[in-house]
Amino acid sequence: TTSIIPAYKTAFLQSCLSANVLTFGTFTLKSGRQSPYFFNAGSFHTSPLLSAISTAYAHTIISFLSSHPSIPKPDILFGPAYKGISLACSTLLELYRLDPQTWSSVSYSFNRKEAKDHGEGGGIVGASLKGKNVLVIDDVITAGTAIRETIRLVAKEGGKVVGFVVALDRVEKMPGPREEEEGVDDGEPRMSALGQIKREFGVQTASIVTSDDLIAVLRGKGDEGDIKRLEEYRRRYLASD
């Protein structure tokens, strides 16, 4: 059978499965949703896995930028603390290996969770964001809270977010008012968190894989019960676009 999933995505998903980056159970997400699966980018902690994830990000970023010629060349690859830090550093190295001419002049940068009041001070480590075009690299998008915080942070530092890249887009709908206030899903269809970010901030986005890719790879391999719970969860929270 022919697969419509590109080889680098399948390779990335295989690394995820082999490293148990993807776990099944009951997880309370940042958004308060109860998910039967969780993707932990912090599990890419050996050199082969770090290399696998940065290679996948680098390929995704290169094709993202070439398919969106209106995006200005990034000056900074910004990884929000904590999980974005190692991702930004290792992916920038990989981008430089793949295309030194383009990437030698790009810097990495990340925020401190607590501002430092001595030494060089400030809330940013790495290159200053002031007046810079910033490409954000993060692990996962679910309801879009983390990226909103990052867009605000970059703006506060005087930078401009020109793109947003994640490893996994869970393709979940953005929360409605009732979910935000009471944590109860009203069952109404809504657009995806990524789609909403595009619409609201004019920021283009990309992901290495989506939860569709995930299911395609799991089918026939994973535990039947896990897959069933995953599909039930997706029916409930899948975005309408």
**By the criterion CB under 6 A, which residues form the site for ligand OMP?**
29-31, 38-40, 138-146, 193
Q: How far apart are CA 217 and CA 84, in angstroms?
A: 25
118, 132, 160, 198: the catalytic one is 118
The smaller minimum CB distance to ligand OMP, of residues 75 and 139, is found at: 139
Distances from the Cα of 67 to the Cα of 2, 60, 164, angstroms: 24, 11, 14
The contacts found for 18-26 with CB under 8 angstroms, 24 or more apart, are 19/43, 19/44, 19/46, 19/49, 21/49, 22/214, 24/222, 24/223, 24/226, 24/229, 24/230
Q: Catalytic residue among 30, 68, 73, 116, which?
A: 116
118 is catalytic: yes
Token representation of residue 219: 């089918």
The dihedral of CA 237, 167, 124, 204: what is its sign?
negative
Q: Decide whether 76 or 194 has the Cβ nearer to ligand OMP.
A: 194
Dihedrals phi, psi of 68, to nearest 5 degrees: -125, 75
**Cβ nearer to ligand OMP, comparing 39 with 64:** 39
Work out how close the CB of 237 gets to ligand OMP at its nearest, in angstroms, rounded to a whole number: 10
For the chain, state the CA radius of gyration: 18
CB of 62 to ligand OMP, least distance (A): 23
Q: Is 45 a catalytic residue?
A: no
Nearer to ligand OMP, 126 or 144 (CB): 144
**Residue among 39 and 78 whose Cβ is closer to ligand OMP:** 39
Residue 140 near residue 39, CB atoms below 8 Å: yes
Secondary structure of 11-51 as H, E, C letters: HHHHHHHHCCCEEEEEEECCCCCEEEEEECHHHCCCHHHHH
Question: Two tokens at 174?
Answer: 């953005």
Smallest gap from Cβ 145 to ligand OMP, in A, equals: 3
Active site residues: 116, 118
